[in-house]
Structure 1
Amino acid sequence: MPNKVVVIYSGGMDSFTVLHKAVQAGHDVYALSFNYGQRHVKELQCAATVCQQLGIKHKIVDISAINQLLAGSSLTDDIDIPEGHYAADNMKSTVVPNRNMILLSLAVGYAVSIGANQVYYGAHSGDHFIYPDCRPEFVQKMHDVCQIANYEPVDIVSPYLQQTKIEILADGLAMGLDYSQTWTCYNGRDKACGKCGSCQERLEAFALNHTTDPLPYE
């Protein structure tokens, strides 16, 4: 019997690669996406399309009501999206308070309910500077608590935790993945802006892998 796993799947390039990594490992994958009140749903639309094409069981859960509690992020509030690289201090405005702990907790609850023993998510080393909930110590603590939070232990798996987006993309390209099926830009316009931290990191990853990003840019 294939191992049943839950993959937190935003529709972005990191979680897209994680999803395919779990599929190619032979797991029985249940994809879980969240509408937490982010500025647009283009990533979620990408996620739905990919899961439909792959025949993967997929849920999109609306938890946008939590925005009544989580203020101050440019991803969810009426605050300008910062431009520049993730190494810049102004990118801290893109932190959504406690987001990954909330999403992982919900995903673990879902995993227990369907008999899955692992939850995958796409934290990587490029996120460590800005996002505390993508750092190895956070992932380890979440893994530890999810061993005892229910009668059934659930593992938190971050296959790219120590790797950069450049290395994630290299792995995905080696798997033959089509990154036109993903969306990364913080803005939800017809074309990616190319200026926000998310776009800049993505473009850098493609450049350093000596290939062209298939997404259109403004």
Structure 2
Amino acid sequence: MKSIVLLSSGLDSTVAFKEAYDKCDEVMCVTFDYGQRARKKEIEFAKAICKKFGVKHTIIDLPWYRTFRGALTGREELPEISGRDLDNREITQKTAEAVWVPARNVVFLAIAAALAENYRYDLIVTGFDAEEAATFPDNTSGFVESFNGMLKSGTLTHPEIYVPLISMSKTEIVKRGLKIGAPLEWSWSCYKGEERPCGACESCLRRKRAFAAAGTEDPLLERL
């Protein structure tokens, strides 16, 4: 079994990577540079993960994406939110729309599908999860099911999207990552790309809450 892992070095993709690493005979990680604010940190950490585990790593530059709208690419301001609002669907739906990059996972998975077919990989692994799926439609099981259906008719080798975390919350992902030895100390969740996580963006807040709920310190903050 061979897999391509979409590795942004975020918490979810880092744990999904370790799931694939343990499951498969061969793994290749793909990281995208689409002009996102944290791209330098994401690429740096993804490289460190791949080096640590001795797996192939491909960085794909998408310069045309840098002009697309959205707070992640710096075209708009990052939304501000408090920790008490993380479960307020009305608020988080608006913040999700603010950081939305048009058709991002459609583009990423299409590229991964081409790589999988060309190099005969069986699985395309992503870190989609239940908490993200609440506000991001391209993280849902329905989206994955539809894309897998397309891969059956749109490719000759029929690679399959594998989503080991699809039913998990961030807290459950932290617990799973700790259990299987995922390199959480090399996972970067912050929307910004500064030397340390900002601790205030929605992604940082969700990560902070998850580690607190899991009853453990964040190994990234201990390492820095």
TM-score by length of 1: 0.93
State the shift of 1:187 in Å: 1.0
Q: Decide whether the 8 Å contact of 2:36 with 2:66 is kept in 1.
A: no
Correspondence for 2:77 among 80, 83, 96: 80
Instruction: Identify the range of structure 1 (100-109 vs 162-171) with the bigger mean alpha-carbon deviation.
Output: 162-171
Structure 1 residue 90 corresponds to structure 2 residue 89:
no
CA deviation vs aligned residue, 1:120-173 (integer Å, no higher than 9, x gap): 111000011221100111111001101111111111111111111111111111
2:126 and 2:163 in contact (8 A); partners too: yes
RMSD of Structure 2 on Structure 1 (CA): 1.5
Residue 209 of structure 1: which of 214, 217, 220 is its match? 214
How many angstroms does 1:67 deviate by?
3.1
| Contact 1:37–1:67 (8 Å) recurs in 2 | yes
Query: Aligned AA for 1:64?
Result: P
Matches within 5 A, 1:179-218: 179-216=184-221
Deviations 1:42-66 (A, max 9, x none): 0111001110121101101101222
Q: Identify the residue that residue 10 of structure 1 maps to in structure 2.
A: 8
Whether the aligned pair in 2 keeps the contact of 1:39 and 1:76 (CA below 8 Å) is yes
Q: Residues of 1 paired with 2:153 and 2:190: CA distance?
A: 37
1:121 to 123, 126, 134: 126
Tell me if 1:108 matches 2:127.
no
For 1:51 and 1:14, locate their aligned partners in 2 and report how far apart those are by CA, in whole Å. Answer: 16
Shift of 1:119: 0.4
Q: How far is the alpha carbon of 1:175 from its aligned partner?
A: 1.4
Identity %: 30
Please name the residue that 1:32 is paired with.
30
Secondary structure of the 2:153 match is coil
Structure 1 contact 12–43 (Cα < 8 Å) conserved: yes
- Relative distance call for 1:216 and 1:83 in structure 2 (3 A) is farther
The one-letter amino acid of 2:77's match is: D
How much does 1:214 deviate? 2.6
- Contact in 2 for aligned 1:10/1:33 (Cα 8 Å): yes
Q: When the two structures are superposed, what TM-score results if normalisation uses the length of structure 2? A: 0.90
Query: Would the alpha carbon gap of residues 4 and 210 (structure 1) be closer, same or farther in structure 2, given more than 3 Å must change?
Result: same
> Using CA pairs below 8 Å that are at least 6 residues apart, which structure has the higher relative contact order?
2
Between the aligned partners of 1:177 and 1:140, the Cα distance in structure 2 is 26
CA distance 1:177–1:153, change in 2 (3 Å)? closer
CA distance in 2, matches of 1:89, 1:7: 27
Gaps of 5+ in 2: none
Match of 1:175 among 180, 196, 208: 180
Work out whether residues 116 and 154 of structure 1, in 8 Å CA contact, stay in contact via their aligned partners in 2.
Answer: yes
SS at match of 2:94: helix
Q: Which residue does 2:50 correspond to in 1? A: 51
> Is the Cα–Cα contact under 8 Å of residues 18 and 181 in structure 2 kept in the other structure?
no
Gaps of at least 5 residues in structure 1 are none
Sort the Cα spacing of 1:176 and 1:118 in 2 relative to 1 into closer, same or farther, 3 A. closer
Given residue 24 of structure 2, which amino acid in structure 1 is its aligned partner? G
